[in-house]
Amino acid sequence: MSLLFTHARQKSPPSHLDIVHGEATFRVAVKRMAKARRFTLRVSAVTRVVTLTMPMRSSFDQAVDFASRHGGWIADRLNKFDDHVQIVPGAEILFRGVSHRITHRGEKRGTVSVERDEEGSHHLIVAGRIDHAPRRLRDFLKKEARSALDQAVERYTKILGIPARRIALKDTRSRWGSCSADGRLNFSWRLIFAPPEILDYLAAHEVAHLKELNHSPRFWSIVASLYPDYKKAEAWLKRHGASLHRYI
């Protein structure tokens, strides 16, 4: 099966190249890294983005040659990804809106930590026995979500001068947050997968309900006072919110 490539000729170094493999064309993002010593390819299980990392001194023609020779590998990797991603070692998930590879280190002490390698890739390092890894990872993600939401809620309740009675995490699919009549706030722990500003907006949204338990113009006026860019966050949730449920 033949491999072809196309890329736009630009005065500045191209940011991508296109690999044609069979009847499919794959867009490959090109990233130059000062610390990179070799060419590497990575396919994100979360975004399906294909990225080629290359040393600073290497030529773009070398990058094209490397990616072209791995067109079959790219196709195989993309075909293996389905709609759901298990939160286990080897998987790639979003954490605070950034793609992280889950890496198991049995000899390492502790539970889960965040690292960044010399090529700039992000990792969630899970320690201990591998059969304990899924539980430890979910516990870590929920703990991080709780911490971020506690801080955001505290910040916004101080602005309004109305305290929340309780904050709880749930795993609902119909809504990202809710506020009861007696001031109890509920949030989906899956907001930890989203960019921080999205989690922050949801905190502002539910805190606004402490003052207006509806979606009236007055309510949205309160939201705007707490989080002025709320329309952008709402648009993000409409476009990408469903993808936060793909992790199982």
Residue 168 reports pLDDT greater than 80: yes
Q: Give CA torsion, residues 127, 129, 131, 133, to 10 deg.
A: -10
Q: What's the confidence (pLDDT) of residue 107?
A: 82
pLDDT at 2: 44
Mean pLDDT of all residues in the chain? 88
pLDDT digits (tens, 9 = 90+) for 204-243: 999 999 999 999 999 999 999 999 999 999 999 988 888 8
Going 84 to 86 to 92 to 97, the CA torsion angle's sign is: positive
- What is the pairing mode between strands 98-105 and 122-127? parallel
pLDDT level of residue 248 (50, 70, 90 thresholds): confident
Sketch out the chain's domains with CATH numbers.
3-80 (no CATH), 92-132 (no CATH), 136-245 (3.30.2010.10)
Q: What is the pLDDT of residue 227?
A: 97
* Mean pLDDT of the region 73-84: 76
230 with 221: CB under 8 angstroms?
no
Is the confidence at residue 1, as pLDDT, over 50?
Answer: no
How do residues 5-33 score in pLDDT, each as one tens digit?
444 444 456 788 888 887 788 899 998 88
The pTM of this model reads 0.68
